[in-house]
Structure 1
Amino acid sequence: MLDQRIKLRHLNAFLEVARRRSFARAAESLAISQPAISKAIRELEEHVGAVLFERTAQGVSLTQAGLTLLRHAGPAVRALEEGVEALADAHNGQRWLRVGALSTVESRLLPTAIQRWQSSPLGRDVSIQVVTGTSAFLLSRLASGELDIVVGRMTAAREIRELAFEHLYYESLRLVVRAAHPLAGVSLQGAEPLIDYPWALPPQRTTLRQQVDSFCARHAISVPSPCLETLSLPISRRYVQDTDAIWIAPFEAVAEALDDGSLVELSLAFEQQGGSVGLCLNASMQPTTALHGFCEVLRLAALERPQ
């Protein structure tokens, strides 16, 4: 039985701090003072008998107890919100599927799946909202019930704990440059020549950046300065096409450009098999018929994707 001392304000404060990774930003978002939100979290921790957050150099992060509570409290609060929203939408039957998309699936897999889904009988009256961002951000929103599914390469993310991941295929990061780049067509024996040029690469504290850091460690090099850190595929593509920068990109994002010759892959392999791309669900949330159908469309699109 739920402890009667736990109020909705406690859960809202907890979810907002988990979402913002900061007491100050959470307080600002909820339009309350920071002491008030700190008090709410302290009271909640006393009621559940566990520490929910730990302070880090980047702000605050969830403890294991916090991750467990997020997996249950988030969907519960979201279900209540959806009940209220359903009353407002009842007159027009509006339904939504909320999808979190990582950059590894933005170019081909997800657009293909959405097109197929919306042309199917089940998807014709269901609107799709796509949210992009880092794996930590999207998986936290999935855990809190704000998303129905997250798609992409995410298995290295700490936030995937207690969520249900389904593997679809492996995809590697590639080193690509414009066709007229000085290193295009050069047989590279090591990574040292790469540091003479700027890089376009994933931001720090992302799962893809962990692979970049591993690559640098293996080859005893450092990320050159200046560089461009972004998850935006259009910005990275334009930057690399207009400069001598090297793009560390998901294969899906550059496959068409490699086919038409506007970009070329360097001879040095970044990684062999690559990471696991898949779909992630919150097992504590009851999946809808629409979500089941969309997952099946994703599986079929993954099977049919060009190799």
Structure 2
Amino acid sequence: MLVHANRLQLKDFRLILAIRDTGQLALAAAQLAMTQPAASRMLAGIEQAIGAPVFHRHPKGMTPTPIGEIIARNAVGLLNNLDRTLGEVHAVGLGRAGSARVGAVTGSAVAFVVPAIQQLKKTAAKADIHVDVAPSDALIAGLLKGEYDFVLSRIPAGTDARQFNIRRGRVEVVRFLVRESHPLAGQKLSSLGDLAGFEWVIQAPHTPMRQAVEEAFVTRAIPLPDEIVNTTSLLVMIAYLSSSDAIGPISREVGELLGPKGIESGLVALELDEPIIVNPYHLISRKNHVMSPLAQHLRELVVATMAGEGGE
């Protein structure tokens, strides 16, 4: 078994992924602009080279065997890295300095990624940089697929952390965002009880921010808000807060960005005597993943920015 697996070519991996994703040989062939007989012959050659079936054949379609799952899972990273390599070659040909892809939770994106990119652009003005802001589970899933060079994220429960290089990051301090005309704006607040009775717009259940806020309510024996709008979009939160008396828990960094000394969004941040702390996020990359010089430089700038703010 697997005696000739080293003979597999990129087109073989693309076919395996296409069959896994579509569940049908005919659909996979169409996706790759091949005829079905040609795809069938290619799959037979793959299984002959491996010495084992890659897919189970069923009346309604095809599903990967355990060996097929392993090949498909690794094919995702292989093909993503190939696409990124070709993209970097193209970027160099255009006179750019290369590319980097970063994922981050909102607070870390504002506090550390943006300043690092601004610093990087001073010496790499034509660098191709992509930044995604998303919840931690989506960021870690993307990192494992090879979509990011590194992420600023938490590690979701059930994820094997041994596959990552992890640099300790920062905790998030919660602020409460409201519009400037909100009844609580400008008032001195002493406890969460002062926020009772208002509508909330907040991240979905089971997210770290939501869990930290709800735990603070429960610990202080304060009833949880009855009226809640759930969203992962900062833009939706801002729009909702701007046109209602709702309250939106956000990180301190986002509060500073949107507050009176920031971009003058018409929103202000409320602060309590007892701060609410969210579990820390970390700087995470995959082991054995070789970053481009540009991505490595950006990571170093993020680390320096975090250290400058008192991180480790």
TM-score, length-normalised on structure 2? 0.69
Contact 1:73 1:144 in 2 (8 A): no
CA RMSD of aligned residues (A): 4.0
- Residues of 2 paired with 1:128 and 1:2: CA distance? 41
Specify which of 264, 267, 285 is matched with residue 269 of structure 2: 264
- State how far apart, in whole Å, the 1-side matches of 2:174 and 2:160 are: 21
Q: CA deviation at 1:300?
A: 1.7
In structure 1, the residue matched to 2:294 is: 290
Task: String of CA shifts for 1:147-168, please: whole Å, max 9, x gaps.
Answer: 11212x4244555733322123
Which residue number corresponds to residue 102 of structure 1? Answer: 105
Shift in Å, 1:173: 1.9
Distance in 1 of aligned mates of 2:149 and 2:310: 27
**AA of the residue aligned to 2:246:** A
Partners of 2:108 and 2:129 lie apart in 1 by 16
- Given the alignment of the two structures, is residue 119 of structure 1 paired with residue 122 of structure 2, yes or no? yes
**How many residue pairs align between the two structures?**
270
Alignment-mate amino acid for residue 270 of structure 2: E
Instruction: Give the drift of 1:128.
Output: 0.3
Aligned residue type for 1:117: L
Question: Taking every aligned residue pair, what percent have the same amino acid on both sides?
Answer: 17
Offset of residue 305 of structure 1: 4.0
1:154 partner letter? R
2:82 paired residue number: 80
Q: For 1:179 and 1:133, how far apart are their aligned partners in 2?
A: 27
State the shift of 1:169 in Å. Answer: 2.6
Distance 1:108 1:99 in 2: 14
Q: Secondary structure at the match of 1:278?
A: strand
| C-alpha contact (below 8 Å) 1:199/1:247 kept by paired residues | yes
Q: 1:61 — aligned with what?
A: none
User: Which amino acid is 1:104 matched to?
Assistant: G
Give the deviation of 1:240 after TM superposition: 2.4
Which consecutive residues of structure 2, in runs of 5 or more, have no partner in the other structure?
A: 33-55
Larger Rg: 2
Q: Is the 8 A contact 1:258 1:264 kept in 2?
A: yes
Aligned to 2:234: 233
Number of the residue aligned with 1:169:
170
Residue of structure 1 in register with 2:64 after alignment? 43
- CA deviation vs aligned residue, 1:50-96 (integer Å, no higher than 9, x gap): xx7xxxxxxxxxxxxx8x985x5443232333455566666435521
